[in-house]
Amino acid sequence: MHMGRALLFLCLLSSLAATAQNPPGVSYDPDARSWSLSNGLVEARYVLDENGLFRLQTLRRPNGKAWVAEGVPASSPIHLEIDGTALDMTTPWELLDTWTESAERGGQLHVIVLRNAEALAEIQLRIEIHPGQPFIRTYYAYRNLDEAVHYVNQARFLNLRLNSDGQAMRGLYVNQYRQNSPLLYDPIEAWLAPDQPVRLFTGAYADHCTWLALSDEFGNGVVLGWESDARARVSALLDGAGDTIVLEGGPSPLHAPVAPGEQLAVPASFTGLFEGDWDEGSYRTHRYVEGVLAAPPPDANFPYFMFDSWGYRQDIDEATMRRAAEIAAQVGVEVFIVDLGWARHIGDWVEDRAKFPSGLRALSDYVHSLGMKFGLHFVPVEAADESPVLQENPDWTSTWDSGYFNAHSICISNQPAQQWLQQAALSVVQVYNPDWFVQDAENLVKECTKDTHTHDPANSNWDNAVNGLDLFMKFMRAAAPQIGWENNADGGTMATFDAVKRYATFGGCDACGHMDRRRVTHGMTYVFPPRFISRYMEEPPIKFTTRSSMFGGPWILMQRITEWTPAEIDLVRQEAALYKSLRGLINRGKVYHLLERPSDYTTAAIESFDAESDRGLVFVYRPDSSVSTQTIYPRGLNPNRNYRVTFQETSDSSTQSGAEWMRRGIAVKLPSKNFAEIVYITGL
């Protein structure tokens, strides 16, 4: 079984390498009115038929499963409901124009402009494909050609019908995180059935990540993602006959007014095809995110080793932070973050001079002089009663109030509030010279039903995402591109494929224990590349807690480090050096979930293997378990090459073929409870 998987992986890798050398092909046949896209890994074709119906005609892997063939099952990427009238796959369209153009990062796309028969709606549809990526990405905009305002009540970013070939279909999706709830990036597997749909609630402060994978019993799989921070509902089910997979989803609630001549852009979605297990679908998603969607990492050293002052809570001052900075530099910290408590009040983004008599800029300069970047905790969507912004503009609050540290929610889709926020944040950058922001709040996309704001009172889910948070982040990334951002969102309450475009990393579960950090890493790596998983470590430093913080993105110390013993300082210095030596491999490689989700009483193991360098590593954890030796079965190795296996904590070493390691496994010694071992796999 393991060898078969390895051979499949090598074949897929070879195909990927060959395909990446050639640009994707896009073509238009004016006689057939058909649009084709292909790149050796995926083929798609769309048709505007003789009745004016726009349909997905073909979706398949070359020499693989056809998920759509000859227009069966029938679906269209366009689905809107405008004032109760549907524009969908039954709508006749007139083709106004079409052309191809280059997309970012080596892609190609079709642009298709359609108008309905009543000449009241124009759709500009874009369909993208990229080299070496088995994905098709679609997005469209509706323009109101009428003389009256119309309201969009439904705008599906996902409206797809796929052929199941009569196979049983299962799905995999992953929770987000929310404090004081059961949500902790749990991976959830479910079978699709006509009377048992898989339902996802995604976006800011919702329940699930914006990702769904499907697979039949032969390992033919589909991964789907959508690029929206707004709350959305998505469903997947088999139709009554069991032949068709029905996939639908869009922002919910939605009540978007579109004025005459104006347009509404529907969020993009992407559909990828794969063959293999869930880890293969995840790997394809990771590579697509990094290759097409995500903002590039801040620099070659990312993910960083960081310090955050929240171990002191808000009881911080200039002297303590200067001493903490000295110790942080001593152990190898790369980013020093001053958390909540530095400002006079939330929403009043000026330093508290009682705490920082020399000014926060002096601390920033001192941190920089020690060779570290300087970071600040920043809450853009909250403000305290005492802050000037609320004293002068009390109506700027939203109707949904989190009570975040006794502050109130601000509705930043209200245009005056948005303008104030942009200038307030830019002032923080100019005055304090930070390199990094930890963006926090309980809910980054506020609900607001006020009719005194510039948004429609029934449309705040959409407006506070698109014209609120997204607009603010686009402004800041353009105005201060040197700043790196963490999307903390009270831990991990907004894990979306829209957020990856503007943030370098996400909060995994904020200030959570080592067990929860391992659980978050296990679940979150099904969806996002490892660098998007920040881990905050609050426990005293021992190897078990430090190594529970290494696999993923930034490792962030959150202790009172001025109280560490010399032995603790020395340990963290050594562990930090180890983390820095491994982070590149962790983030380049393919993630394999070798054992079940971590628990308090069972061993856990997670692997990253980089086929290009032919190297991998496995983190193995023994919590409160009686198991003193755990056999793990590595994956991704070339079965015909030899590999040396070594260990971080012992001098043991052994060499055999990749096929033998994957078949017989590696016996990992775990001599005591709360023990963490790192296994190194090196191709010879």
For residue 570, the surrounding DSSP H or E stretch is: helix 566-588
Residues 6+ apart with CB under 8 A from 87: 78, 79, 80, 81, 116, 121, 123, 142
Q: Could you give the CA distance from residue 64 to residue 197 in angstroms, rounded to a whole number?
A: 26
pLDDT digits (tens, 9 = 90+) for 202-242: 999 999 999 999 999 999 999 999 999 999 999 999 998 88
Residue 22: predicted pLDDT:
66
Q: Which residues of 158-181 are buried (b: 16+ CB within 10 A; e: fewer)?
A: bbbbbbbeebebbbbbbbbbbeee
> Could you please report the per-residue DSSP string of 8-63?
HHHHHHHHHHHHHTSPPEEEEETTTTEEEEE-SS-EEEEEE-TTS-EEEEEEE-TT
Phi, psi of 456 (to 5 degrees): -70, 135
Map tokens 């050609």 to a residue.
145
Q: Could you give the CA distance from residue 606 to residue 610 in angstroms, rounded to a whole number?
A: 14
In the numeric block, which tokens belong to residue 183? 């949500």
Has residue 4 got a pLDDT over 70?
Answer: no
Residue 242: predicted pLDDT:
85
CB hemisphere CA count around 482 (13 angstroms): 9
- 366: amino acid identity, one letter: Y
Burial class (CB within 10 angstroms; exposed 0-12, middle 13-18, buried 19+) of 665: middle
Q: How confident is the model at residue 20 (pLDDT cuts 50, 70, 90)?
A: very low
Residue 256: predicted pLDDT:
98
Which of these, 69, 40, 66, lies nearest to 56 by C-alpha position?
Answer: 69
pLDDT digits (tens, 9 = 90+) for 527-586: 999 999 999 999 999 999 999 999 999 999 999 999 999 999 999 999 999 999 999 999
Burial class (CB within 10 angstroms; exposed 0-12, middle 13-18, buried 19+) of 383: buried
Q: How confident is the model at residue 2 (pLDDT cuts 50, 70, 90)?
A: very low
Residue 195: predicted pLDDT:
85
Q: Could you give the CA distance from residue 584 to residue 614 in angstroms, rounded to a whole number?
A: 14
Q: Could you give the CA distance from residue 652 to residue 611 in angstroms, rounded to a whole number?
A: 24
Has residue 509 got a pLDDT over 50?
Answer: yes
Q: Give mean pLDDT, residues 341-370.
A: 98
pLDDT digits (tens, 9 = 90+) for 377-422: 999 999 999 999 999 999 999 999 988 999 999 999 999 999 999 9
Q: Could you give the CA distance from residue 253 to residue 188 in angstroms, rounded to a whole number?
A: 25
Which of these, 213, 164, 162, 157, lies nearest to 189 by C-alpha position?
Answer: 213
Q: How many CB atoms lie within 10 A of CB 283?
A: 23
Q: Give mean pLDDT, residues 137-165.
A: 97
What pTM was computed for the model?
Answer: 0.96
- Average pLDDT in the chain: 95
Has residue 10 got a pLDDT over 70?
Answer: no
Q: How confident is the model at residue 512 (pLDDT cuts 50, 70, 90)?
A: very high
Has residue 21 got a pLDDT over 90?
Answer: no
Question: Which residue ranges form the domains of the chain, and what is each CATH number?
Answer: 27-293 (2.70.98.60), 305-590 (3.20.20.70), 594-683 (2.60.40.1180)
CB hemisphere CA count around 512 (13 angstroms): 27
pLDDT digits (tens, 9 = 90+) for 81-112: 999 999 999 999 999 999 999 999 999 999 99
Has residue 437 got a pLDDT over 60?
Answer: yes
Helices marked H in 487-565 — which ranges? 514-524, 543-547
Residue 128: predicted pLDDT:
98
Q: How confident is the model at residue 179 (pLDDT cuts 50, 70, 90)?
A: confident
pLDDT digits (tens, 9 = 90+) for 463-477: 999 999 999 999 999
In the numeric block, which tokens belong to residue 412? 């930043």
Q: Could you give the CA distance from residue 444 to residue 446 in angstroms, rounded to a whole number?
A: 6
Has residue 1 got a pLDDT over 70?
Answer: no
Q: Give mean pLDDT, residues 518-534.
A: 98
Percent of the chain with pLDDT over 70: 97
Q: Could you give the CA distance from residue 675 to residue 624 in angstroms, rounded to a whole number?
A: 9
